[in-house]
């Protein structure tokens, strides 16, 4: 899971000019003070040390994070495929799906399979009617609820915490992706772009998934081609 999330990591680090902003020099021995470099013209008592000294006030950070560090993680192809197969298998267990928080009816059969005509749905109301006809009305209401995130995250562009709803997997998106984009919690992806993060958001497996007939029939062939 971390190898997918690592592609969104933002590089960060100290400025390379940190600690080199001032003209400094050491006064040397004989003054009863430390011989660290000090800013010129500010005396000795209230002056700030600078330059290359990491432990002194005004100096550079000690072993700071570097923005050029490689943050993206790699994963073996077989491991990635095994993780995806495991995530798909988890979606076929109703107990795991309900334990993840989805409001799935007791008599619901998972995974859900629908006809290929769903990929051509071009209206939000049609997609919503499809989900309601499958008994997912409570699930849609659950996804509409949102709560305010505690802590500093409110000021960092993620004030509200939202629920993750059903995932619709089609062989080819012919309009349903745009139609479903306005329904809270609902996500659409093609079989070629399917990955572990779709099936187990946040590392929690058991997402409620709707498969189109063609996507469900070609899933084995997709794995044989290595389309994880």
Q: What is the pLDDT of residues 143-153, one digit of tens each?
A: 999 999 999 99
pLDDT for residue 166 is more than 60: yes
Encoded tokens for 211: 């498969």
Residues 59 and 82 in one domain: no
Residues 88 and 197 in one domain: yes
* CA pair distance 125, 154, nearest whole angstrom: 32
Nearest CA to 163 out of 181, 147, 185 is that of: 185
- Under 8 Å CB-to-CB from 145, ≥6 apart: which residues? 163
pLDDT value at position 106?
87
Rounded mean pLDDT, 193-203: 92
* CATH value at residue 171: 3.40.1370.10
Residues 39 and 99 in one domain: no
Residues 14 and 33 in one domain: yes
* CA pair distance 62, 72, nearest whole angstrom: 24
- 121 contacts 179 by C-beta, under 8 angstroms: yes
What domain range includes position 31? 1-74
Last residue in a domain, options 74, 90, 105: 74
Residues 62 and 143 in one domain: no
Rounded mean pLDDT, 156-185: 94
- Kindly indicate the confidence band of residue 42, based on its pLDDT and cuts at 50, 70 and 90: confident
Residues 22 and 95 in one domain: no
Last residue in a domain, options 29, 57, 74: 74
* pLDDT over 90, % of the chain: 54
pLDDT value at position 39?
77
For the CA atoms of 115, 94, 196, 186, the dihedral, rounded to the nearest 10 degrees, stands at 60
- 140 contacts 162 by C-beta, under 8 angstroms: no
pLDDT value at position 19?
67
* Domain count of the fold of the chain: 2
Residues 9 and 82 in one domain: no
Mean pLDDT of the chain: 87
Residues 23 and 130 in one domain: no
| pTM of full prediction above 0.85 | no
Residues 95 and 45 in one domain: no
Helix axes 124-133, 137-144, angle to 10 degrees: 120
pLDDT value at position 45?
59
Residues 131 and 168 in one domain: yes
- Of 17-26, 92-101, 185-194, 214-223, the poorest mean pLDDT is in 17-26
Last residue in a domain, options 15, 43, 74: 74
Helical H segments across the chain, by residue range: 2-5, 77-90, 94-99, 124-133, 137-144, 176-180, 196-199, 213-217, 219-224
Residues 46 and 134 in one domain: no
Residues 84 and 17 in one domain: no
């Amino acid at each position: 899971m971390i190898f997918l999330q690592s592609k969104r990591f933002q590089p960060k680090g100290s400025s390379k000019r940190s600690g080199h902003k001032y003209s400094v020099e050491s006064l040397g021995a004989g003054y009863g003070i430390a011989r660290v470099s000090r800013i010129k013209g500010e005396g000795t008592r209230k002056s700030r040390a600078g330059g290359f000294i990491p432990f002194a006030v005004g100096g550079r950070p000690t072993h700071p994070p570097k923005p050029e560090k490689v943050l993206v993680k790699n994963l073996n192809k077989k491991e990635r495929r095994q993780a995806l197969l495991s995530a798909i298998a988890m979606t076929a267990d109703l107990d795991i799906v309900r334990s993840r928080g989805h409001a799935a009816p007791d008599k619901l059969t998972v995974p859900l399979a629908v006809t290929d005509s769903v990929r051509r749905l071009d209206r939000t109301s049609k997609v919503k009617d499809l989900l309601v006809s499958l008994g997912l009305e409570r699930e849609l209401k659950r996804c509409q609820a949102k709560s305010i995130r505690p802590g500093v995250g409110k000021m960092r562009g993620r004030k509200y915490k939202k629920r993750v709803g059903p995932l619709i997997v089609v062989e080819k998106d012919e309009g349903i992706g745009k139609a479903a984009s306005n329904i809270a919690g609902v996500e659409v992806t093609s079989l070629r772009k399917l990955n572990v993060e779709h099936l187990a958001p946040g590392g929690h497996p058991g997402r409620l998934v709707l498969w189109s007939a063609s996507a469900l029939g070609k899933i084995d062939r997709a794995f044989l081609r290595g389309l994880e």
